[in-house]
Amino acid sequence: MNLKTILKNLNQGKLFFIFLIVTLIVVYPLFGYSQDNQQVTQFNFLEKTLISYGFTVKKEIPPYKNRYGIRPYGLLEGKTQTVWINPVVFDLGNAKATIIHEAVHAAQLCVGNKEEFKLLNLDIEPPKMTHPYFMRYHNYRKEIEAEAYTVQVQPNSLEIAKNFLDSYCSSNNNK
């Protein structure tokens, strides 16, 4: 193989590589955007549902830190019926999961007549993958968190959360 053939093959390889990079730059964001757009649409849907049942939803850093000194992704303060969604969840891609988690807590609050969180008594067991997230809590709080994490990871989590809000919060609506 002579030098001219090597250079020709190298140029063809470069052109293919450039074509591949350009294709990825153009096509990848299109798929990423539709996924993000769907997540945002689902987030907005659940946000509106929470608001319709008298909850306030703030896309702000939660005002309280957890016991490790970290601001959580989401927080529901029962006394004020305020849900905080940490804006970082939008960058991390877990805004939908976060609002679903908080929506389950909202339904738990509605079951408790908006004064205390009560269990929804789910018919589904927490998947093993969720255990590390709620096992760090103690007593009743562990059960409350287990329900929220269990719903959060279900394939139809959005529908489950919406149905819980419709079932448990409609009679307690503070509109």
CA atoms within 13 A on the CB side of 12: 6
Mean pLDDT, to the nearest integer, of 126-150?
89
Q: Is the pLDDT of residue 151 over 80?
A: yes
CB atoms within 10 A of CB 93: 12
- Determine the Cα–Cα distance for residues 11 and 149; give it in Å rounded to an integer: 53
**CATH 3.30.2010 applies to domain 40-172:** yes
Residue identified by tokens 């709080």 is 141
| 20-34, 37-51, 63-77: least confidently modelled range | 20-34
CB atoms within 10 A of CB 59: 15
Ordered by start, the domain boundaries in the chain are 40-172
pLDDT in tens, 85-105: 999 999 899 999 999 999 999
Task: Give the Å distances, CA to CA, from 131 to 102, 111, 136, 150.
Answer: 18, 24, 9, 9
Is residue 145 within 8 A of residue 137, CB to CB? The reply is yes
Strand residues in 10-87 grouped as ranges (E): 56-58, 74-77, 82-85
Pull the structure tokens for residue 71. 């601001």
